[in-house]
Chains A and B, each alone.
Chain A
Amino acid sequence: MSVSETNSAVSPKTSTPVAVWSQIDASHAKITLSGVVNVYTLGGVWTQIKDSQNAWLANIPASILPNASLVFDASQVTSLDGAGIAFLIGVQESQQKAGAKFELQGLESRYQPLLHEFDPISNLFPVPVVKPKRSFVVSTGMAMQNLLDDARGLISFTGHLAADLFWSIRHIKQVRWGDFVNAAVEAGIAALPIIGLVSFLIGVILSFQAAIGMKQFGATTFVGPLAALGIVREMGPLITAILLAGRSSAAFAAEIGTMTVNNEVDALVTGGLSPIRFLVVPRVLAGILVAPILTLFADIVSIVASMITMLLYGIPFINFYNGMISAVGVEDVLSGLVNATMFGVVVSAMGCLRGMQTGTGAAAVGISATRAVVSSIVMIVLVDGIFAVISYKTGF
């Protein structure tokens, strides 16, 4: 008997081979395990042994394969952990699959019960399941179905919300005013700095861009009225709504989403309380209150920014003011504020809806927050479009 091939693997940590492959003859081979065999020392060694075993099994003619045997000698092992047991099982499974023999020698008796924990070992090697690929028609149908479900959810939520808002008007004392104040402070006062900053910069940029063009025609005087009208009717409400979507809608979705994940919403339902009345109504009312106020604040800051910018172009405050008064009427400001109120409803309601539609697990809360922002912005644009058409037709 001669050792025709020796393949030893050296572990980087212990610098002694924990497993050595030796081929005795064409149909007999041996794996000698020694020292500390654990999840760290097996790294690399396992792959080498596995490759040697596969190459050896592949070279044995099918006729003598049932007589081919591999001896696994574990007599020199000083310590073995779960990874060592898994290694042994891996080698044994390859032998079984090929229809060859496997013999375990010298494994300390204390490790034996661990091997029996995994009977039969074939369970540890499941056949990989190949997921059937979805056809284009099925994918399109499913996407359509999701869209319809979403629309149905939105309509049903709108109905419930309208009913509960109406109920709240009739039972004004039963509205959770504490939650309303918290939401209003969080969505309103806390948002003042960021809305102030963004509107100021938008005011400056808008005026600068307009002034560059208008200067060519010697019409810089008209930048003031132009900017003020744009700000009051469109930019102010839009900036406020988008910032509210990013801040408050996401916050509502995350808060209600976490409550959904923790079964708190279920607890409300089983306690006989309407989650919409309890969680959504105070937040939507807060949205209705703060959105126009924040818009008014954004309008003022933007117009002041525009005034300062135009000063650089030699337009004094008084000229800007007079131009603005002649161009911007009270109905323009009111139109903007009505627009903003609608945005307030949409942004807070979408945040709450997405929160209540949260699935399970921590990741679901993140998904809900993202969906809340995206749907809020889509709804803002939609509402803005509808409002623009109404405004054009009615002249308001």
Chain B
Amino acid sequence: MSTPVTAPISPYAIEVNNLTVGYGSNILMKDLNFTVNNGEIFVILGGSGCGKSSLLKNIFGLYQPLSGDVLIEGQNITVAQGAERQKIMTSFGVMYQQGALFGSMNLLDNITLFMQEYTQLTQDQMNLLARCKLDLVGLLPYETYMPSDISGGMQKRAAIARAMALDPKILFLDEPSAGLDPITSADLDQTILDLSKNLGITFVIVSHELASIYTIADKVIMLDKAAKGIIAEGDPRVLRDTSTDPMVRQFFNRITTKDAV
């Protein structure tokens, strides 16, 4: 039996119970169980094509899981409907892998769109808020640019700024630092750390960038395609040094498949 929509106040930002992810008869991940603490930077790892992005989309309710529940701040998003679901949806922000900015709007309008819908602020106030978000990701001079006029890396950063539009308590970022130069990537890591430490924002990040993971992650889970589940969980630095699982060691120490055999 699934958990009702309104559960008692949860100590976790996100709680995943017996989640099975897949498309029809193609099961990608089976019976996943994990929790994300409030204010934590949680990273989902795994090889390409193992279903990390699909898992993320199941967690924030874009796709319906095959079975199991996801509780966001104690609210079950898998069964929530209508206004209740919308309320849960506004409690988090999402940055998609390709940025997914609205091509017909400039960066400032991309960010203020959600504020116009959900807040009572005036346009000037929303613009100031949006500029603050753009400043955080280093894009302040580009507020009037259209998404198609800026580079792919800048689009990703603008998408992070848009995800923060309503100052959500949880941010889901799908490969935020992929394709960024080392300096911008390091700046972004620092921004994530600051937001987490100072505003208590919980981050759920899908990433491959080992350097970034060691810098920011409080906790990681590593997914494996063959095992259809989690093969490692914990602090990435500890996993790198102590894990006995050959896959995990190979991943964290960047060992080629040929050398690992």
Contacts and interface: CB of A to CB of B under 8 A. Distances in A.
B171 to A, nearest CB: 12
A38 interface: yes
A180 B119 CA distance: 53
Which 7 residue pairs are nearest across A and B when measured between Cβ atoms?
A43-B120, A361-B148, A360-B148, A361-B103, A81-B167, A362-B103, A82-B167
A45 to B, nearest CB: 9
Interface residues of A, number: 34
A86 B128 contact: yes
Interface of B: 103-104, 115, 118-122, 125, 128-129, 131-133, 135-136, 140, 143, 146-149, 164, 166-167, 191, 194, 197-199
Contacts of B121: 39, 42-43, 46, 83
Interface stretch (A107-115, A158-166, A218-226, A384-392): A107-115
A124 B120 contact: no
A123 to B, nearest CB: 6
B119 A39 contact: yes
B135 A124 contact: yes
A44 B122 CA distance: 8
B65 to A, nearest CB: 29
Contacts of A83: 121, 129, 167
Nearest to A118: B135
25 contacts: A12-B120, A39-B115, A39-B167, A40-B119, A42-B125, A46-B122, A82-B132, A82-B167, A83-B167, A90-B125, A90-B128, A110-B197, A113-B198, A114-B198, A117-B135, A117-B136, A117-B194, A118-B132, A125-B128, A359-B148, A360-B148, A361-B147, A362-B104, A364-B103, A364-B148
Contacts of A40: 118-119
B199 A114 contact: yes
B132 A89 contact: yes
Contact of A124 (B103, B104, B122, B131): B131
Contacts of A114: 194, 198-199
A362 B147 CA distance: 10
A39 B129 contact: yes
A40 B197 CA distance: 22
Nearest to A359: B148
Given A85-B132, A118-B135, A361-B147, A43 B164 contact: no
A363 B103 CA distance: 6
B132 A86 contact: yes
B129 to A, nearest CB: 5
B148 A38 contact: no
Interface of A: 12, 38-40, 42-44, 46-47, 80-83, 85-87, 89-90, 110-111, 113-114, 117-118, 123-126, 359-364
A118 B136 CA distance: 8
A82 B149 CA distance: 27
A121 to B, nearest CB: 9
B148 A82 contact: no
B132 A124 contact: yes
A81 B119 CA distance: 14
Contacts of A80: 199
Given A38-B167, A90-B128, A124-B135, A82 B199 contact: yes
Point out which of A83, A85, A117, A359 has the most chain B C-beta atoms below 10 A from its C-beta: A83
B196 to A, nearest CB: 11
A363 B102 CA distance: 9
A83 B198 CA distance: 14
Contacts of B143: 126
A44 B125 CA distance: 10
B164 A82 contact: yes
B98 to A, nearest CB: 11
Point out which of B121, B136, B147, B148 has the most chain A C-beta atoms below 10 A from its C-beta: B121
A117 B133 CA distance: 10
A104 to B, nearest CB: 16
A46 B167 CA distance: 16
Contacts of B194: 113-114, 117
Contact of B122 (A47, A123, A126): A47
Contacts of B166: 39
Nearest to B120: A43
A39 B132 CA distance: 13
A360 B133 CA distance: 25
A380 B247 CA distance: 64
Contacts of B149: 360
Nearest to B114: A39
B82 to A, nearest CB: 19
Nearest to A93: B128
A362 B104 CA distance: 8
Point out which of B140, B143, B148, B194 has the most chain A C-beta atoms below 10 A from its C-beta: B148
Contacts of A43: 119-121
A40 B164 CA distance: 14
Contacts of A124: 128, 131-132, 135, 140
B132 A363 contact: no
A114 B201 CA distance: 13
Contacts of B167: 38-39, 81-83
A123 B129 contact: no
Contact of B129 (A82, A111, A125): A82
Given A47-B122, A82-B129, A110-B198, A123 B164 contact: no
Contacts of B119: 39-40, 42-43
Given A39-B118, A46-B121, A361-B103, 8 more contacts: A39-B119, A39-B167, A42-B121, A42-B125, A86-B132, A124-B131, A361-B104, A364-B148
A111 B200 CA distance: 10
A46 B125 contact: yes
Contacts of B191: 117
A81 B197 CA distance: 12
Nearest to B104: A363
Nearest to A84: B167
Point out which of A47, A82, A364 has the most chain B C-beta atoms below 10 A from its C-beta: A82
A146 B30 CA distance: 58
